[in-house]
Structure 1
Amino acid sequence: MADTESPRTTPWSRLRRMGAPRATRANVIAGVLAMMLGFAMVTQVRETRTSGLENLRQSDLVALLGSVNNQSGRLSKEVQDLTRTRDQLRSGSSGAAEKAVTQRAATLGILAGTTAATGQGITISVQDAGGTVKAPDLLDAIQELRDAGAEAIQVNDARIIASTWFGTDSEKQIVIDGKVVRAPYTIRAIGDAHTMATAMAIPGGVQESLERAGARVEVTSEKKVDVTALRPSKAPDYARPNGEG
């Protein structure tokens, strides 16, 4: 009798069976790993959504929004003042140029750290008896203050400017711009006091991180903060105003 194949053993059926997924050990492990990865991703997304501002109380969010609105108002007023100064300069108003130059020099002096500054702000006291605070921790605090609108900052007797760097010396002491800074650390920042204090208190933020590391942190809002540490004035070695030889 001639060899015949039933429909179940035709070449097409064999090909379908070969291409069908099999419940091998490797496939099962791959499936479990994919499920675990998906679960981890979903968990991370949920944790991200519940961190930061979402953990603040409603009163804190309202206060933070009010501070942002106040800062927006101040910036709008600054734009108006600058526009008025520009118009005065264009019209040749007597004394306008001298006044503008003086104001600009004062602003640049504060930004460069060559001029002392005073104004409302906050003082942050960091007690670190165990020596657990590291240079990156202080840098994080400075970055948070800058993001919150700090206009002048001082750590102990070191003035913080745009080019300031943080590091550690051979004895594992914190160094700011080559100068050793020892605990306790006192950070003085001039700017909107409420905005900066609220930024420090955000769950998972700077204050909580320092306290979790073992430091004792106290943030005080003040009507007058003096930033008196100065940087030496240094002429640039290579940069020149555009147009000079």
Structure 2
Amino acid sequence: MGRRHKFNLYLTLVTFSTGFLVATSVETTKLMQRERMNDQLFQQETQLNERILAEKEQNRHLENQLLDLQRQVGKVEEAMAQRKSEAAGILSELEAARMRAGVVPVEGPGVVITMQDNQNAGSAADVTNYIVHEQDVRLVVNELRAAGAEAISINGQRLVSNSAIRCVGPTIIVNGIKSAAPFVISAIGDPHTLESALHLPGGVMQTLQDFVQIDMAKKEKIQLPAYVGDAKSKHS
């Protein structure tokens, strides 16, 4: 074998070996890169999973906080509703007390009774039997109160617990104010109940109509003024 031929053979072997080594090196590099990428992807996936778990835990914690807050809000709402109910009850009692005391004007359904002297009083032997006296007015007022009247006035004078009804000659004094016939008694309450109470057999209407002129009318709306007398005189 010639020297030249051996050189070519060596050169071929060297080239082949070099190419093999280069190819192996490239492949090894690619493999290492893929492994690094896989490691990075694994790490990223692990981090994402950890973040997801942390977010889930945080969401669960927030949900528990929300439930606690909702329970607290529910308790506060219940307490507020209770207080509103209590306040409404107190306000209702206060309004009722004010109305009974006569310190506020009132409006509502009721009846109006008009009383005046008998037209035949002048020809009667005893005229005093046929004119309106304070006891006649008081009889009507007491019957109205017994029937549940919530508020009463006489000729625009609101009656309160200590209101006095007195007779002075042909006039009647209510809350210190004189007024003459006709005497108009206005009462707020259930019109049917008040009417029935006054028309009982042997009751007020039947008793008085033989002596004085008395008429009654049911009303859908009656307005009564507040008491305007001296508050001190009520308790004297």
The answer to which structure has the higher helix fraction is 2
- Report the residue type matching 2:114 in the other structure: S
Task: Identify the residue that residue 44 of structure 2 maps to in structure 1.
Answer: none
State the distance in 1 between where 2:207 and 2:87 align: 47
Q: Is the 8 A contact 1:154 1:229 kept in 2?
A: no
Aligned counterpart in structure 2 of residue 207 of structure 1, from 201, 205, 219: 205
SS of 2:152's equivalent in the other structure is: strand
SS of 2:138's equivalent in the other structure is: helix
Change (3 A) 1:212 1:159: same
State the distance in 1 between where 2:176 and 2:208 align: 23
State the distance in 2 between where 1:115 and 1:100 align: 19
Task: Identify the residue that residue 230 of structure 1 maps to in structure 2.
Answer: 227
Task: Identify the residue that residue 160 of structure 2 maps to in structure 1.
Answer: 161
**Does the alignment pair 1:113 with 2:89?**
no
SS of 1:204's equivalent in the other structure is: coil
**Does the alignment pair 1:126 with 2:115?**
yes
Task: Identify the residue that residue 143 of structure 1 maps to in structure 2.
Answer: 142
State the distance in 2 between where 1:146 and 1:226 align: 17
- Report the residue type matching 1:108 in the other structure: A
What's the RMSD between the two structures over aligned residues?
A: 2.7
Shift of 1:98: 3.3
Change (3 A) 1:229 1:185: farther
Change (3 A) 1:115 1:108: same
State the distance in 2 between where 1:135 and 1:181 align: 11
Moved over 4 A (4+): 235-238
Name structure 1 gaps, 5 residues minimum.
1-89, 239-245
Structure of larger gyration radius: 2
Q: Is the 8 A contact 1:125 1:187 kept in 2?
A: yes
- Report the residue type matching 2:186 in the other structure: R
- Report the residue type matching 1:180 in the other structure: K
Change (3 A) 1:232 1:133: closer
TM-score (norm 2): 0.55
Name structure 2 gaps, 5 residues minimum.
1-77, 122-129
Q: Is the 8 A contact 2:162 2:234 kept in 1?
A: no
Task: Identify the residue that residue 67 of structure 1 maps to in structure 2.
Answer: none
State the distance in 2 between where 1:236 and 1:183 align: 25
TM-score (norm 1): 0.53
State the distance in 2 between where 1:198 and 1:179 align: 30
Q: Is the 8 A contact 1:123 1:221 kept in 2?
A: yes
Task: Identify the residue that residue 195 of structure 2 maps to in structure 1.
Answer: 197
Q: How many residues align?
A: 147
State the distance in 2 between where 1:106 and 1:100 align: 10
Q: Aligned ranges for residues 179-194 of structure 1 at < 5 Å? A: 179-194=177-192
SS of 2:110's equivalent in the other structure is: strand
State the distance in 1 between where 2:149 and 2:86 align: 28
State the distance in 2 between where 1:237 and 1:124 align: 25
State the distance in 1 between where 2:230 and 2:149 align: 22
Change (3 A) 1:234 1:132: closer
Q: Is the 8 A contact 2:176 2:229 kept in 1?
A: no
| Identical residues among aligned pairs (%) | 27
SS of 2:187's equivalent in the other structure is: strand
Deviations 1:84-137 (A, max 9, x none): xxxxxx966243343333222211111011111111211112232556110000
Q: Aligned ranges for residues 1-245 of structure 1 at < 5 Å? A: 93-128=82-117, 130=121, 132-169=131-168, 171-213=169-211, 215-232=212-229, 234=231
Deviations 1:14-38 (A, max 9, x none): xxxxxxxxxxxxxxxxxxxxxxxxx
State the distance in 2 between where 1:222 and 1:174 align: 25
